[in-house]
Amino acid sequence: MVKASLLLMLLLTVLIGMGLRWRESRFATPAIAARNGKAARRPGLLTRGKRNIDRWVTAAAIAAIATIALMGGLHWIRVWSG
């Protein structure tokens, strides 16, 4: 049961992370040109790294909650069924 929950959590983390990345790229605001007509700069390495880490931590938290709910639900179904 522990292996199943860990595999489920890993799978959900990857799928949710991919979904968050897709959502982030889909709803990202386009770069607005600066006042002088120059294009806006790309975010720095630390900013991109922080955004990436935040995305995966969020995905892991959502996956943990979903895994607890799913495995707990399966447990209670087993308890109630006798």
pLDDT, position 33? 47
Sequence-ordered list of residues with C-beta below 8 angstroms from that of 9, at least 6 positions apart, any chain? 60, 63, 64, 67
pLDDT, position 31? 54
**Cβ atoms of residues 65 and 5 within 8 Å:** no
pLDDT, position 42? 75
Residues of the chain with pLDDT under 50: 33-34
pTM score, two decimals?
Answer: 0.76
Domain range list for the chain: 2-28+45-81
**Cβ atoms of residues 12 and 63 within 8 Å:** yes
